Amino acid sequence: MCPSGSGLGVVFAFVCAFEVVFVFAFAVPVAVELWHWTSPRALGYEPFPVPSRKSIANSPPQLERLLEAAASVRERAYAPYSRFKVGAAVLSKSGRIHVGCNVENASYGLTLCAERAAAAAAVAAGDAELTAIAVVTDAGSPAPPCGMCLQTLLELAAPTARVVLKTVRGKRKHYALRELLPHGFGRRFL
C-alpha cells in the first residue's frame, strides 16, 4: 500500500492501465497475426484430401489413406533425443484427415506426442469429432498411444473409434479406443 497522499498510488494505477492497454493493443493482435502467418495453410501444407465428406472410418481404402498420412508425417517428427519418430493421423466425422508428429524438447515434459498433435490439428480446423486414429512407429511391434494421448483421444472420439497401429515394417494391430483405455476419465465424472 502506498502512503496516503503520495504520488506512488497514481503512478501504480498508471502503470497497470498501461499494461492492460499494451496487452490488448499490441500483444493480442501480434499473437493473432503470428498464428495466421504460421498456420499450416500459410506454410503451404494442405489437409490430406479424402474421397468423400462422409465418415467411412471402417472402409479399408480410408484406413490405408489414414496410415499413409501417418507414415508420411512421421518423417517430419522432431525426435533428436529419443530418435523415436511417431506419426499420427486422425479421421474426423467430416471425413477430413489431420496429421501430427512428435516434437521432443530438452525439457522432456514439454514433448508433444504425435497423437495429441494430430488431435489438436483437427480441433484447430474445426473438426472436433474423431472417428478413427492411425499411429505409425519404427518400434518392433505396433506401439499404442501413451495414457495422456489416449485420454485426449477419448475426449474427442467415441470409445468405439477405430485405432490402427502400424510399424514401418508393416506389422499392424487394430483396436477400439475403449480397448486401449477401458476406464478413461470423462464428462460423466464431472
Our answer to whether residue 179 is catalytic in this structure is no
Neighbour-count burial of 5, counting CB atoms closer than 10 A to its CB (0-12 exposed, 13-18 middle, 19+ buried)? exposed
Q: For the residues of the chain, what is the DSSP string, one character each?
A: -PPTT-THHHHHHHHHHHHHHHIIIIIHHHHHHHHHHTSTTTTT--PBP-S-SS--TT-HHHHHHHHHHHHHHHTT-B-TTT---EEEEEEETTS-EEEEE-B--SSGGG-B-HHHHHHHHHHHTT---EEEEEEEE-SSSPPPPPHHHHHHHHHHEEEEEEEEEEETTS-EEEEEHHHHSTT---GGG-
Other C-beta atoms lying within 10 Å of the C-beta of residue 44: 6
Catalytic residue among 64, 115, 155, 179: 115
**C-alpha grid cell, residue 133:** 486414429
**Catalytically annotated residues:** 115
